[in-house]
A and B are shown apart, each in its own frame.
Chain A
Amino acid sequence: MKAKIIMNPNPMTLRPTDTVATAADRILKHHLRHLPVVDEQGRYLGTFSIYSLLKLTLPKAVLDKYGLDNVSFVTEGIGDLAQRLGGRRDELVKNWLNIHEVAHPDTPAMEVMLLMLHGRTTSVPVVNKTNSRLEGIISFWDVLEKLIGENN
């Protein structure tokens, strides 16, 4: 089975110039974890995810590669944290993209599952090899549905 059979060909996407506020709204409303970001030609640029939102809420000092690995001494309440994220609602999503490993329409199903395991992600963008356009997205649920369906 190939990626193009399993994928959702009409995923919800973001534009690079969308704001963090728009992205957060969509993530919350649709309970999505990953939103692919595409440009006007439909080319895949990266993924804005719930992890991007976590990074936007945490202090920079924690995100540094040699940063603090324990912040249990910071006793901020939810109000302070909300203020942190609120202060960044107008930033553009293009600055907070994760670049995930992508699949191509012809990538076999097993390889897609391995990408999920290695990338610790629940969704893999499917990208056209020649023009970099986003063809669809495969979520873990799409794969699981196919697997369970076969067994029944």
Chain B
Amino acid sequence: MHGSSEAAAAALFGLDPMWMAAILFALTYVVVMTEKINRAIVSLLAAGLMIVLGILNQEAAIRGIDFNTIGLLIGMMVIVAVTRQSGIFQFLAIWAAKKVDARPWGILVMISLVTAVTSAFLDNVTTVLLVAPVTLLITEELKVKPYPYLFAMIFASNIGGTATLIGDPPNIMIGSATGLTFNDFAYNLAPVVLVIMAVTLAPIYFIWGRHLRATPEDRQRVMQFNEYGAITDARLLKQCLLVIGLVVAGFVFARFLGLEAATVAMTGAALLLLLANFGHDAEHQSKHVLEAFNEVEWITIFFFVGLFIVVHGVDGTGLLKLLADKMLALTGGNLTATAMVILWSSAILSAIIDNIPFVATMIPLIKAMAPTFGGPEGLMPLWWSLSLGACLGGNGTLIGASANLVVAGFAERAGQPIRFIQYTLMAFPIMLMSIVISMGYLYWRYL
């Protein structure tokens, strides 16, 4: 039945389904890149066309959607929506600034660390939305330029996000598609992420850090901040810390407990909503639950849904297998060469295009290489190459990651715009440096 409808659709346009899928797929990429049409609309429309044109049927399309990724994203977004109301992130930033006696360079390092650690566990955009305002307040008090702080914040958010399964969408997708756990990511990526974070601060110090000065009076004003004043709801804070602790424990013991990441995140979200709303009347509960759901980034979620269908459609036609074979022919089936091609191409492409569709495409492509490298186990270095390239590459230009644009928005409104060219000239070489470090690490540890 489905076979005949596929044939009919293909015959209708006189095109091979593979080429039809390829054209639709390429068009999706191009239109998303132009940013003329909202990316959720583009991916859902392309997914609809995949089905209408008979490249795959609805059943197959739904099978293509990775609900583990979707569930993990939504669950974490709900947890963050509730937690941010407690003021914990402002508390952390101020506490860190005071730990270094409000010295300008010390604050830059501390804010970078807070950003990196936070974005290892939360979405990068959320992290910078929480840390940037308090950073701007501190730089205003110190009468220092916010530019270096915001520049470092962009890098810290993308680097920190690379360290864990839940830190960045590429890792969530890779983890979900391969069954690699939270611990696998932490064990394989966190060491190199620490090195990259430390090394990245060096050029920032030489370019800006060593010139940063603040008067003792201005520093004193920051020292007088009372970080406990930032905690707006102590009861909520305790509930959030409890649930986040349980969720992280859930991720760590996921394999032992036989649980998938989405189950951990979604159950955590439900538990937090229960605690935060316990004892309140029905109207209050509805209002608060709705507020939390409203903060889920539905555009990202629906973009993922459409994209999974599009990529699944393309995968089904054998196009990605074909591309994988071409790539292997290019590298001669050599693991080191293949890993390096994946690392560098992910890094360069992620600096220019959205890394989410790129990674969604690369996952089935890399999976198709399993027979060449002796089964799924042999693919491990390739997954780490993809993750490092796609996550770190985002630092290269202002449009490389959504968090970059959010920070640029803050900079612009604060009257200190981060210009595209000026940013790229500094950031691209620093990004390349992080890829060179990743290359050394991959080579030393896996190849």
Question: Could you list which residues of chain A lie within 8 angstroms of chain B, going by C-beta atoms?
Answer: 59-62, 64-68, 70-76, 80
Contacts and interface: CB of A to CB of B under 8 A. Distances in A.
Contacts of A80: 221
Given A72-B229, A73-B229, A61 B90 contact: no
Interface stretch (B10-18, B134-142, B151-159): B134-142
B137 A70 contact: no
Given A60-B140, A67-B133, 4 more contacts: A59-B140, A60-B414, A61-B135, A71-B137
Interface string B62-89: 0000000000000000000000000100
A74 B94 CA distance: 10
A59 B410 CA distance: 14
A68 B413 contact: no
Most chain B CB within a 10 A radius of its CB, from A61, A71, A75, A80: A61
A72 B224 CA distance: 12
B298 interface: no
B227 A73 contact: yes
A96 B129 CA distance: 26
A75 B91 CA distance: 14
A72 B415 CA distance: 25
Contacts of B90: 68, 70, 73
B443 interface: no
A66 B90 CA distance: 13
Contact of B224 (A60, A61, A70, A75): A75
Contact of A75 (B225, B232, B414): B225
Q: Which of B133, B221, B227, B230 has the most CB of A within 10 A?
A: B133
Contacts of B415: 60
16 contacts: A59-B136, A59-B140, A60-B414, A61-B134, A61-B136, A64-B133, A64-B413, A65-B413, A68-B133, A71-B137, A72-B229, A72-B230, A73-B94, A73-B228, A75-B224, A75-B226
Nearest to A77: B224
B230 A61 contact: no
Interface of B: 87, 90-91, 94, 129, 132-137, 140-141, 221, 224-230, 232, 409-410, 413-415
Contacts of A75: 224-226, 229
Contacts of B134: 61, 68
Nearest to B140: A59
B94 A61 contact: no
- Name which of A59, A66, A73 has the most chain B CB atoms within 10 A of its CB: A73
Contacts of A72: 226, 229-230, 232
A73 B225 contact: yes
B410 A66 contact: yes
Contacts of A61: 133-137, 140, 414
A95 to B, nearest CB: 11
B137 A59 contact: yes
Nearest to B132: A66
Contacts of B94: 73
A59 B91 CA distance: 18
Nearest to B91: A73
Contacts of A60: 136, 140, 413-415
A64 B232 CA distance: 20
A76 B409 CA distance: 28
B327 to A, nearest CB: 42
Given A64-B410, A65-B413, A70 B230 contact: yes
Given A59-B141, A73-B90, A64 B136 contact: yes
